[in-house]
Structure 1
């Protein structure tokens, strides 16, 4: 019998400890020996107590979550409303022939628990949106946010909320349509160049939420300076054009509602995700 993924939680508001309960002295587990020898015991203890949330568990977010849990972060919340589609298999960690149709948040939580059974990992099968913002991202609930959302409306609201609440956030810009992982950069959103998606995010954050994106925003962006490639038609598109094969429809973000379906590859989306994980781990390890 296959192990069952943990049951998803239903929108609890994350609790913020009012006082630290007495605990045993920190002792690094051997599974983190190599990371510990790079960062040291004090940094590993900080990571073990850190609380991180990842919004979006696709080709970028799944790798970000894995990089974070493999680095010793002790508390991780994984938010994604979607289920695995066969077209995810080329770039998403949880996508295999056995997982098609299963919830991404639950699958990724199970994977993270198999990496570190001592970690507190919570899957939330939800789509981030305005009316759930207070529950999914309560003030003081997390030390860092990873934004791997590809829905523009949701992304804008999430980034504005992080800025408003003063929660550190690292945000993935456009990973699709790229083939060169060496062209990926990490800068404040105001410093992003040659990425049309990042340009739109800057413009819309300023127009819709009044965020001054001409100066440092506090939003760390992972982006690519490679020119975005247009998607190619495939032979099976010949009769009817693109046809969505996702196992479950939803009211939030579907293939059928997109203006175009871009190509993407694992050796680019994974590097986006691991760069995001690197930002989180490096900054939390020094107490920032």
Structure 2
């Protein structure tokens, strides 16, 4: 089979076997905001053959400063619908499945109850993030989890490692605490920053996020920082696909 020109540079880098592994891979991306939108973009452009997209939210004007799918023309549209259309435009051969729902215990079971190679967790909610990680671990599905990207500016302090290695990040600390109660201490690949978050007061009137377990304050964020989190998460996922290890 001839490689389409759109994938030629990827094949040049990874070889035909590597490209075929990406074509045959299935990645589920949970959360299509500032981090998840860039993760989905990178995976689609890399030639991943199956992508499952999970997000219940719509694009808002306040998303435009950092989210790939947020444009003046897409405000009010479902993020999952915008993402699906963009991915099909990038790679028409990509098989896209959409779950327009919130991540909780019930929906997580449904989402993960299919063969897949890796899950990318780009969720803000602590309880949803923990539900997803626990369910993925129970099914032996590799997961790459994004920790807190808001309130940061220094791209040089973004790193990756096992959940047991994370430090400074308050979200990672909360996730670790919740996972420990479930008997999980390691085996979760994370993208995180060692930069303390800047907690400047919100001037937009946005309300803090309450997921029933934790009230998350509204933190400022900037385009390049959250994008790097998403791209790095995609790189980790591709590493799992190519050789069973994170990139």
After TM superposition, give the deviation of residue 231 of structure 1 in Å.
Answer: 2.2
Report whether the alignment pairs 1:63 with 2:33.
no
Partner residue in 1 for 2:50: 75
**Root-mean-square deviation (Å):** 1.9
Report whether the alignment pairs 1:41 with 2:10.
no
After TM superposition, give the deviation of residue 27 of structure 1 in Å.
Answer: 3.6
Larger Rg: 1
Partner residue in 1 for 2:69: 94
Deviations 1:138-193 (A, max 9, x none): 1x521110000111111101001111111000000000110111110010111111
Q: Equivalences for 1:153-168 in 2 at 5 Å? A: 153-168=127-142
TM-score of the superposition, structure 1-length normalised?
0.80
Alpha carbons 1:83, 1:103 under 8 Å: kept: yes
How far apart in 1 are the matches of 2:216 and 2:170? 16
How far apart in 2 are the matches of 1:93 and 1:283? 24
How far apart in 2 are the matches of 1:110 and 1:219? 31
Partner residue in 1 for 2:177: 203
Which segments of 5 or more consecutive residues in structure 2 lack a partner in the other structure? none
Q: Equivalences for 1:18-57 in 2 at 5 Å? A: 26-57=1-32
Structure 1, 74-83 or 124-133: larger mean CA deviation? 124-133
After TM superposition, give the deviation of residue 258 of structure 1 in Å.
Answer: 4.6
Report whether the alignment pairs 1:229 with 2:159.
no
More helix by share: 2
How far apart in 2 are the matches of 1:243 and 1:228? 18
Q: Which fold has the larger relative contact order, with Cα–Cα distance below 8 Å and residues 6 or more apart in sequence?
A: 1
How far apart in 2 are the matches of 1:145 and 1:272? 15
TM-score of the superposition, structure 2-length normalised?
0.93
How far apart in 2 are the matches of 1:191 and 1:75? 31
How far apart in 1 are the matches of 2:94 and 2:7? 12
Gap change, CA 1:94 and 1:253, over 3 Å in 2: farther
Q: Equivalences for 1:136-215 in 2 at 5 Å? A: 136-138=111-113, 140-207=114-181, 209-211=182-184, 213=185
After TM superposition, give the deviation of residue 260 of structure 1 in Å.
Answer: 2.2
Q: Aligned to 1:142, what secondary structure does the other structure show?
A: coil
Gap change, CA 1:206 and 1:287, over 3 Å in 2: closer
Alpha carbons 1:43, 1:286 under 8 Å: kept: no
Alpha carbons 2:202, 2:219 under 8 Å: kept: no
User: Which of residues 86, 93, 101 in structure 2 aligns to 1:118?
Assistant: 93
Which segments of 5 or more consecutive residues in structure 1 lack a partner in the other structure? 1-25, 245-250
How far apart in 2 are the matches of 1:96 and 1:229? 26
Deviations 1:8-40 (A, max 9, x none): xxxxxxxxxxxxxxxxxx542210111111111
Give the total of aligned pairs: 243
Gap change, CA 1:131 and 1:40, over 3 Å in 2: same
